[in-house]
Amino acid sequence: DANGAVLEFLSYEGTLTATNGPAAGTTSTDIDVSEAGTEPVGRSLSRSYDATTDTLVWQDPAAATRGAVNGGGTEEPEPVKVCELATTHEVGQVQGEGATTPLDGQQVTVRGVVVGDVPGLSGFYLQDADGDGNAMTSDGIFVFSPLAVDLGDTVAVTGGAMEYYDQTQISSRTGAAVCAEGSAADLPDPAPLDLPAGDADREPLEGMLVEPVDVLTVSEVYDLTSYGELTLSEGGLLVQPTELARPGTAEAEAIVTENVLRRIVLDDARSARVSATTRPYLSPTTPVRVGDELTFTEQVVLGYGFGQWRLQPADGTAEGVFAPMNTRTDAPEPVGGDVRVGAFNVLNYFLTFTGPDARGARSAEQLELQADKIVPAIEALDAEVVTLMEIEDTDSTDYSPGNADRALADLVRQLNEAAGYDKWAFVPLPTELYGVDRDAIRNGIIYQPNVLQAVGDPVGLVDESVWFNAREPIAQTFVKDGDAFTVVANHFKSKSPGAPTGDNVDDGDGQGSWNGDRMRQAASLAAFADQLRDQTGDPDILLMGDFNAYTQEDPIQVLRDAGFVNLGEVLDPDRYSYVFNDMSGSLDHALATRALAEKVTDLAHWNINAVESFAYQYYGDPALYAPNPYRSSDHDPLVLGIDLAERCHGLEPTIVGTEGDDLLKGGTGVDVIMGLGGNDTILGGSNDDVICGGAGDDRIEGGNGADVLLGGFGDDWLLGGNGDDELIGGPGDDRLEQGRGRGSSEQGGDES
């Protein structure tokens, strides 16, 4: 039409979906007749008027009648005075007690009140205000008609009863008329819509004015930018069954059933695909978000179409249907701790803009828009260490051969420019990973070097028999206040179908495709953590990232069985990181060894991305874009706090150094000395001391007692004294020398 809206998109011999033009993204309607290809010239498919049903119908190829009415039917008659006709049926009789009309194809005459003025659907909803007294039949019906109506009008309709995309309707091109004008004040009371409810309970309300009994929660916003739809649910969010229950169990199947019964769509009373100027329910200041509880401020009608029950705004517009909420928060909930660790999916942060490997921004201008969302989001996490997923591997994409860190370095540059100083640094890709065939995206780790130290080289997991279709894990050990912990960034194989075989085929239990590979990746990761524990001599290991598995799925269970604690499941069980197919769940996890889990103070999902419409992304709707954290990615970040205890060999220190180069001396008592950071010189006293060097290249001398000397991280020199000393080197190239006593040394590959 003049506004660019597609009125009809027709095809024959099947349906198709337009890829461009006004109908882009729209699926055609098959007219159900076709040509054999042998017809003589001058014959074609035609559409003619059928007086019996008052509809236009398609016919097999017939001779062209250019300039004349098609011969396959009678010309549309002049409008009759339908208001003077006696009704042949009540609306309830047309609806019938089942899912379809018992009068399909028959002409009927009904009368009722307009309860839905929806020209965007090419018609209106008509309801028999008195009803037929049968609770099994609906007293409302959709009328496909060009007649202009207002809410409350009394209308008579003569037309054909039929089903259209499984919604019972009366089709009447000319046989409808307003018999008495009315207003919204003349509408019947809405019928209660009590969810959960199946088709049999909703069918008696089809086409009627309804009012939800319970508060409805927004469970999905994905289709706002295409069809103007919100998915709503009774009783809170719809949750992925395998987020809450083990796959294939009766409990998981029960959740599948419950989700169907609790679900309903809020539509925009338009059949056309929305455009940038017609997107409903979206606002720069009060966006509708997953988790919002809707308070309806306008009336709605229950309709059906395209396989879904739909609430349609009775007045035909999406404006003011519900009271908007703004549930955005400026930062995640506080998690406490001495150090905080976050996980953030950066939505394909790429410096490569074109070519087969490009997955992110398509220009420098788009990259700036993307960074202007990611940077404030990372800053607001208030984390000292952040694992990153979906950042470009610039060596793998040939943007910067031999240097996989260019995109990571660029993001750190943006963060430091925003901070005004060199606040952030990045962990380089481990050297060993340059020798494997990696994906275009990789894992990364960034940290604040002014707050904690990265000690030792980063470590990559090399096993392409397992990780060939995923992103290799990257590990880095950090030390703060003398306490070490190791962070591993992860990104398992996705659930996307592809061409899986064997145990990777989707078996329908809710885990999707490639579950076998994800399980093998989980087992490999658990073994990698054991290796890291042995290398560092420290049991505090944290696995963070996108595991592409919901909380109760097999890959997470593999890690539980290996002794890891799923911190989100324990500390933030009702918050999720991802929304897919109307259901929330956590694909992003933080799993800790039991030793580290005891130090974790709290964990929070920061719901800024998955809960918001795509329209707010950097390449979404320009009118809704803002340089803020919201919809900076499609996954929500998470952050946790760790309460680092200053302990030396399990003991509370009596003498503590600084992060610099210290000279520390023991006294005459029993001392517990901790060097922390820097290259320290630590001298034991005259008693049985316990001395920890911490991070740095330290020199530790035992003194006169039976001492325990621990080098910690770095290249340390441990010298026993006069007593029976125990020397433990730790990570690094350490030199261990016993003194005069009968002591012991744990070399760990160190020099002695």
Q: Is residue 281 part of a domain?
A: yes
Q: Which of 603, 625, 642 is the last residue of a domain?
A: 642
Q: How far is CA 589 from CA 218, 487, 547, 559, 570, in A?
A: 24, 13, 7, 11, 11
Q: How many domains does the chain have?
A: 5
Closest among 435, 476, 431 to 456, alpha carbons compared: 476
Q: Report the pLDDT averaged over residues 345-357.
A: 97
Helix (H) or strand (E) holding 595: helix 594-597
Q: Is residue 444 part of a domain?
A: yes
- Pairing mode, strands 167-171 and 123-127: unpaired
**Cα separation, 590 vs 559, whole angstroms:** 11
Q: Are residues 629 and 697 in the same domain?
A: no
| Dihedral (Cα; 304, 308, 314, 317), 10-degree rounding | -130
Q: Are residues 92 and 159 in the same domain?
A: yes
Show the CA angle centred on residue 115, arms to residues 111 and 117, nearest 5°.
105
Q: How many C-alpha atoms does 32 have within 13 Å on its Cβ side?
A: 4
Q: Are residues 174 and 210 in the same domain?
A: no
Q: Over the stretch 313-350, which tens digit does the pLDDT of each residue have?
A: 999 998 889 887 878 999 999 999 999 999 999 999 99
Helix (H) or strand (E) holding 749: none
Q: Are residues 501 and 520 in the same domain?
A: yes
Q: Are residues 655 and 636 in the same domain?
A: no
Q: Is residue 59 part of a domain?
A: no
Task: Give this prediction's pTM.
Answer: 0.82
Q: Which of 156, 188, 220 is the last residue of a domain?
A: 188
Q: Over the stretch 72-122, which tens digit does the pLDDT of each residue have?
A: 555 555 556 899 999 999 999 999 999 999 999 999 999 999 999 999 999
1 pLDDT more than 50 = no
Q: Is residue 728 part of a domain?
A: yes
**Cα separation, 92 vs 98, whole angstroms:** 11
The long-range contacts involving 253-257, CB below 8 angstroms and separated by at least 24 positions, are: 256/510
User: Within a 10 A sphere around the Cβ of 663, how many other Cβ atoms?
Assistant: 10
Q: Over the stretch 201-258, which tens digit does the pLDDT of each residue have?
A: 999 999 999 999 999 999 999 999 999 999 999 999 999 999 999 999 999 999 999 9
The confidence band for 751, taking pLDDT boundaries of 50, 70 and 90, is very low
**Cα separation, 463 vs 617, whole angstroms:** 35
Q: Is residue 630 part of a domain?
A: yes
CA distance from start to end of the chain? 86
Bridge partners of residue 141, in order along the sequence: 126
**Cα separation, 229 vs 220, whole angstroms:** 9
Per-residue pLDDT at 608: 98
Burial group, residue 353, by CB count within 10 angstroms (0-12, 13-18, 19+): middle
The confidence band for 52, taking pLDDT boundaries of 50, 70 and 90, is low
Alpha helices in 47-102 (DSSP H): 91-95
3-state secondary structure of 294: strand
Q: Which of 624, 642, 660 is the last residue of a domain?
A: 642
**Cα separation, 535 vs 27, whole angstroms:** 58
Alpha helices in 425-543 (DSSP H): 464-467, 515-536
**Cα separation, 374 vs 245, whole angstroms:** 33
Structure-block tokens of residue 333 = 């909930």
Give the sheet arrangement for strand 216-220, strand by strand. 191-193, 209-212, 300-305, 308-313, 263-266, 230-234, 216-220, 293-294
Q: Is residue 396 part of a domain?
A: yes
| Dihedral (Cα; 274, 280, 281, 287), 10-degree rounding | 60
Tell me how long the chain is. 752
Q: Over the stretch 687-741, which tens digit does the pLDDT of each residue have?
A: 888 988 877 788 998 878 888 888 876 788 888 878 888 888 876 788 888 877 6
Structure-block tokens of residue 24 = 């882009």
Structure-block tokens of residue 248 = 């294939």
Q: Are residues 472 and 405 in the same domain?
A: yes
Q: Is residue 689 part of a domain?
A: yes
Q: Are residues 635 and 660 in the same domain?
A: no
Q: Are residues 313 and 370 in the same domain?
A: no
Q: Is residue 515 a contact partner of residue 469, using CB atoms and an 8 Å limit?
A: no
Q: Are residues 373 and 322 in the same domain?
A: no
Q: Are residues 381 and 237 in the same domain?
A: no
Angle between helices 515-536 and 554-561 (to 10 degrees): 30
Closest among 377, 382, 393 to 344, alpha carbons compared: 377
Q: How many C-alpha atoms does 749 have within 13 Å on its Cβ side?
A: 9
CATH number at residue 362: 3.60.10.10
Q: Are residues 345 and 302 in the same domain?
A: no
User: Within a 10 A sphere around the Cβ of 276, how many other Cβ atoms?
Assistant: 12
Burial group, residue 268, by CB count within 10 angstroms (0-12, 13-18, 19+): buried
Q: Report the pLDDT averaged over residues 505-511.
A: 97
Structure-block tokens of residue 146 = 């060009």
CATH number at residue 171: 2.40.50.140
User: Within a 10 A sphere around the Cβ of 377, how many other Cβ atoms?
Assistant: 22
- Domain interval for residue 20: 1-32
Q: Is residue 399 part of a domain?
A: yes
Q: Are residues 216 and 316 in the same domain?
A: yes
Closest among 305, 299, 306, 55 to 157, alpha carbons compared: 55
583 pLDDT more than 70 = yes
Per-residue pLDDT at 14: 56
Bridge partners of residue 718, in order along the sequence: 700, 736
3-state secondary structure of 119: helix
Q: Is residue 314 a contact partner of residue 116, using CB atoms and an 8 Å limit?
A: yes
